[in-house]
Structure 1
Amino acid sequence: MHLSYCTNVHPAEDLAGVIEQLDTYAEPIRQRLGSDVLGLGLWLAAPAAAALADDPALRRRLRAELDARGLEVVTLNGFPYEAFQAPVVKHAVYHPDWTSRDRLDYTLDLVRVLADLMPESATYGSISTLPLAWRTPWDSSHESAARRNLDELAAVLEKSAGETGRTIKVGFEPEPGCVIENTTQAAALLGSVDTRWLGVCLDLAHLAVAWEQPAQALDRLAAAGVPVVKVQVSAALQADDPAAEGDVLQAYVEPRFLHQTRSSIGGATDNLDEALQQQLPGPWRIHYHVPLHALPSPPLSSTVPVLRQAVRELLARTDCEHYDVETYTWGVLPESQRPADAAGLADGIAAELAFAQELLTTEVSAR
């Protein structure tokens, strides 16, 4: 089992910036945890991925930089294409989507990079990606275009495994508002792909926002033959009485990311401010990744209980080996909860990893 933290919380767009992240955050986090090795769920913007894919010497350099700092990479986050920490991201994160050759080429670049970064001990590598596209526009022509790209992706993954001896799998990440929003849609749309190479990346915050029950969700995927190749260990924001908690929720309204909001009784908006304006009936779960180890602003809560239940079910029902802590919203948290500097962010990520490590260790020991 590999535990990592996702580096899409950092804004680097090129290799120099990625290496700077290793010194500023990754190595200090490893030292705070007292670990010999720290896993990274590495995010590479498309230009950096292309440069690395085109140059074996650059890949060797990055691998050497990782090794020198006690860092390992078995999984890449291939969902954001570039500029994920720009002032405004919102719907841009879903482009290019899986109807586009650009999305396929970016993912194939990541396959080439990951094959050279993976440690020899890794059973397989994984790349998470967006759940095909945002829900609109989407019709049969979009689905056919995406399916052609997925078929080519699977063929390249099979060829790469034969040439390199390294198995790499791609996981499509259900997210509220997208073509694949939940495990029901994942089972329907991914059950016919080549599941030797393609599966799902299960983000536990998204699972909770969709108000899915972990055991039922995993049963649904298993019945369709869709494997879980990666788990993003994340928690969403929860408001049990949003009508009374509006002032506190307002502090979480920010311009960078979408915060899809879902009511337990079926109401839905694509952003938190819309839910507040519409007075959507509660309780709400909000696509706002909050730190795993710390409570949100009271009286709000998080979906950590769903996370705990999901991890228990995943360990019992799947052979997934990759668990990646993905809290990318540190920089937009309410000011009182936001890290003041790089050291504060490293402290927060280290605390999240310690939380996740204890949870996984406890659940494995209990089996």
Structure 2
Amino acid sequence: MSDSAWLSSELGYCTNVHSGETLQDIKQNLATYSVRVRQLRHLEQMEVGLWLPDQAAKTLLCDSQLTEFKRELESLGLQIRSLNGFPYGGFHQQQLDGKLQPVKREVYQPDWCDERRLIYSSNLLHILNALMPDDCDFASISTLPLGDKQSRTWDQHALLHTIEQLKQLTLQCATLHNLTGKRIVFAIEMEPGCVLEHSDELLRFFKLLKKYDENARYVTVCLDICHLAVSGESPHEVISKLQKAGIEISKVQLSNAIELELQKNWQVSLASGFAAQMQASPWLHQTSVFLDKFKPISVADFSLLFTEQSERLWQQVDRATHAFARVHCHVPLFAEHVVIAEGVSSGTTQTQLIEALRALTTLSAQQSYKPILEIETYSWSLFLEQFAGDLCHGITTELAWVELQLKVAQLSDSPNDSVLESQP
């Protein structure tokens, strides 16, 4: 089998699906859920993409618990080559004015103009350096695409300040690489509504970064397939574009978005059901409305499609020959359809996901490394009753689906066929 193949043990999931901000929470989640997923897959070792919020990261460093934590991971049969450094604090809920509130737009704070983002990212770098398996020389930490477009004016001054912060971080990456031989990179993850939302914006930023930072090679890209779908970009085209520009893709987050046909008679059902659920969920659900072949119309959250201000948009929908929306809501990878309201079923962007997995054939053939692949269905809590009932079985089924797709694309080296028993 080719060196480009992903072993079963190298395919994991991101632990931001589990709530909890303390180190004890993180350890409990790993022992309760991640180990169970590994066992269901009949693996002795399994990689996980670890989400360490700021509070847990500081505890690991301040209390000198890194050595003990690495031993615990080894005893659990879990390996870490990937950290999610995007959400800084609470990702499922947060404490505001003494009350628990949804995270929503706060997930982008602090942004890359804020020194706290640099300190947090630096902490993650040193943690990952300590936690990586001894025989591993490459790892990746995903980070936010600079920040939220609405949070501040992202002019040249703000961009250059961000680059100055990144320069401090990449210098640390280069220093560690020279000392240890371990190459740890940061990976910018494009997201709808953020400063770097589309690939053209990303390319312009990398051009600026390379101009000012001699260690810019330690800043790479994390491709989130759900985000690409909502933004209306083809995974194959984006991968090709980044390759031509010499920009490394160090991580691919496998994710699936909602895609629904827009019909006027669905408005009441959607507004009273799914839209209300989305509004109450912890996360933002950015939405793009596609009308015929025109450029998609961006809406900050799916629930905003059902306000008085959206009437003009619905008039455009009525005039269009073909109208559909893609919603930033991470649904199970194996799902082709999702029931979102009584009598209303939507499709998903699974075809985009399959396109991305097949495009990896080209990526792995032309480059000397394999980007880290991990599932990121952090919103399983919205779909457990519909699809699985049990979180660990749901994640295991997703991983089995990925392995099957990789086998179809002749990418996977998976002698353990038993995982396919979890296929729905």
TM-score by length of 2: 0.81
Query: CA shift at 1:37, angstroms?
Result: 1.5
Gaps spanning 5+ residues in structure 2: where? Answer: 1-5, 94-100, 318-322, 414-424
Counterpart pick for 1:305 among 345, 351, 373: 351
Aligned to 1:40: 48
Matched, 1:177 2:222: no
Aligned partner of 1:276 among 306, 319, 323: 306
**Over aligned residues, Cα RMSD in angstroms?**
2.0
The SS at the match of 2:279 is coil
Residue 84 of structure 1 corresponds to which residue in structure 2? Answer: 91
Is 1:287 paired with 2:322? no
CA contact (8 A) 1:39 1:71 kept: yes
State which drifts further: 308-317 or 356-365: 356-365
The equivalent residue for 2:136 is: 122
Q: Distance in 2 between matches of 1:77 and 1:272?
A: 25
Equivalent runs, 1:230-249 vs 2, <5 Å: 230-246=251-267, 247-248=269-270
The answer to whether the aligner puts 1:112 opposite 2:162 as a matched pair is no
Give, in angstroms, the shift of residue 305 of structure 1. 0.4
Aligned to 2:422: none
Q: In structure 2, what is the Cα distance between the partners aligned to 1:132 and 1:365?
A: 33
Partner-residue secondary structure (3-state), 2:11: strand
Q: Is the CA contact (8 Å cut-off) linking 1:99 and 1:146 kept in structure 2?
A: yes
Is residue 195–residue 225 contact of structure 1 (8 Å, CA) maintained in 2? no
Counterparts of 1:107-256 in structure 2, within 5 Å, are: 107-136=121-150, 137=152, 138-191=154-207, 192-193=209-210, 194-246=215-267, 247-248=269-270, 250-251=273-274, 252-255=277-280, 256=282
Question: Which residue is 1:18 aligned to?
Answer: 26
Q: Which runs of 5+ in 1 are unaligned?
A: none
1:108 to 1:365, Cα distance in 2 relative to 1, 3 A = closer
1:258 maps to which residue?
284
Tell me how far 1:41 sits from its aligned partner.
0.5
| Structure 2 counterpart of 1:324 | 374
The answer to which of 153-162 and 47-56 deviates more is 47-56
Pick the aligned partner of 1:49 from 32, 57, 60. 57
Q: CA deviation at 1:28?
A: 0.8
**Counterpart residue number, 1:361:** 407
Q: 1:55: how far off?
A: 4.3
The more displaced of 194-203 and 93-102 is 194-203
Distance 2:285 2:62 in 1: 36
Describe the superposition over 1:228-258 as per-residue Cα deviations: whole angstroms up to 9, x where unpaired. Answer: 1100000111012353444247425232111
* C-alpha distance after superposition, 1:59-90 (max 9, x if no partner): 11111111111111110000000110104011
Residue aligning to 1:5: 13
Alignment length (residue pairs): 362
SS at match of 1:219: helix
